[in-house]
Structure 1
């Protein structure tokens, strides 16, 4: 019997970005704190490979605090996004989109 059989792993997971159900081995583990290597007492969310490729892979230092400060989920989407972009540009400079 394999050593890992006692782990409680599901065969399929749901992509947190698009909502598709995918095979676990076709997904990427996502840790909102950006520290997927420290596995103690963690439950990971998953992202499909397509959505993972679309993610910004820049450091997320201060992101959680910024979202709380700007009341993410508590204000309407348009007001939040406007405040977010304004605050990010004030603190970190202009946000540039990648050109394909």
Structure 2
């Protein structure tokens, strides 16, 4: 059994910046393995932002972001690099009609 939390811990949603009580938020683990809790600290999402997420597996996403140096270039450069890398790994992107 987990020990009871004392008081109301407040966390900040990493997507929208809203502060909310911890028990009203969802844990986010950038590695997609929230069950392996050893030596981890989690970021949090408010319930609204969590519902808007794609909940499909994201295998290789972190490696891809590191490879294209996400966070070290402007938005346009990042998006161009991301699309190129995705097409090289998985083939051409097709839009759904």
TM-score by length of 1: 0.81
- Which residue is 2:83 aligned to? 85
| 3-state DSSP of counterpart to 2:3 | helix
Q: Distance in 2 between matches of 1:9 and 1:66?
A: 40
| 3-state DSSP of counterpart to 1:61 | coil
- Which residue is 1:23 aligned to? 21
| 3-state DSSP of counterpart to 2:79 | helix
| 3-state DSSP of counterpart to 2:38 | coil
Asked if 1:4 corresponds to 2:3, the answer is yes
- Which residue is 1:46 aligned to? 44
Matched residue count: 95
Displacement of 1:89: 2.9
- Which residue is 1:69 aligned to? 67
TM-score by length of 2: 0.83
